[in-house]
Amino acid sequence: MEFSAEQIAGILSGDIEGNADIKVNNLSKIEEGTIGTLSFLSNPKYEEYIYKTGASICIVNKSFIPNKPLPETLTLIKVDDAYSCFAKLLEFYDSMRQKPAKIEQPSHISESAKLGENIYLGAFAYIGENVVIGNNVKIYPNAYVGDNARIGDNTTLFPGAMVYHECVIGQNCIIHAGAVIGADGFGFAPDENGEYQKVPQIGNVILEDFVEIGSNTTIDRATLGSTILRRGVKIDNLVQIAHNVEIGKNTALAAQVGVAGSAKIGENVQIGGQAGISGHLHIANGTRIVAQSGIPSTVKKADTLMGSPGIPLEDFKKSYFGFRKLPFILTKLNELDQKLKSLTKD
């Protein structure tokens, strides 16, 4: 699909410098721009690339003034905030690629299921008994929605996403390929012979509105009650969230984070990749946890934590500085020990 500079400027309320009729049909980073692509410049660090980019159109801030000649083939669209405007275009471009409403075959829809309007259901998708699906939902091929599950308006399940029975997915959620919502929590109890007996997991998972779940992430159903992700939570790929966990509004977890059972994570928390959160603890609103950190106990006050166990970032830096000097310190101690021994002999 092609758009002219004039059309794009109209969408963004921008000013054109160059050829208003020039057209683009793709997007690119400014350093990788080619003819027919649209790019943007907001970070001065990348300004050097605008003087040699092959892109046909570039979105820039109104404050941008070139300090050398621009390529003759380049048209500028000047806006108040280039980054947010480019993000707006990305959203618009993505919406143009959405699947139209249709039900592909073969797919399975239980007779008791209730489907809203403008549904896209891909081939080999499975919709179980008493499922309720809202309006404008998109369920891609090979996705599964178990019995009694509910899917809110404008939510998307990408290929192979699994929503187990009884789970509740809110409005405007995105569940990426291979994610599993509502598998059994890791509940086992050893018997008198030391053999593990499975504890039935009869709760569910609730995702509130505007939650996004990355590819191959797993969110376990509660033993009793619900595992809950509040409004606006963002979960990266390959994250494990155990049974009965609660995650507060607008909290974000990066890839390979593991959260153990019954942990309660507050609002606006940020957790870096490969961090581990122990079970049955609370993490205060606004806490930041650096990648690969381990949190073994409750965090009562918002802070930036690093290390395992996690400690305040500045304390960790001081401790790490001392740790790096340990070989030098040990050498000095050994020298002092040798001197003391020689003095004692004398």
Assign 230 to helix, strand or coil.
coil
Looking at residue 131, the DSSP 8-state letter turns out to be -
C-beta of residue 100 within 8 angstroms of C-beta of residue 118: no
- Which candidate, 320, 299, 303, places its Cα nearest to that of 312? 303
Among 165, 243, 280, 282, the one annotated catalytic: 243
Q: Which residues contact 159 (CB under 8 A, 6 or more apart)?
A: 122, 140, 141, 142, 143, 177
How many contiguous H segments (helices) and E segments (strands) does the chain have? 5, 40
DSSP secondary structure of 279-304: SS-EE-TT-EE-TT-EE-S-B-S--E
Query: How far, CA to CA in Å, does 68 sit from each of 18, 38, 48, 62, 65?
Result: 16, 21, 10, 17, 9
Residue 31, judged by CB atoms within 10 A of its CB (0-12, 13-18, 19+), counts as middle
Is 165 tagged catalytic? no
CA distance 101 to 147: 23
The verdict on whether omega for the bond into residue 141 sits within 30 degrees of 0, i.e. cis, is no
The catalytic residues are 243
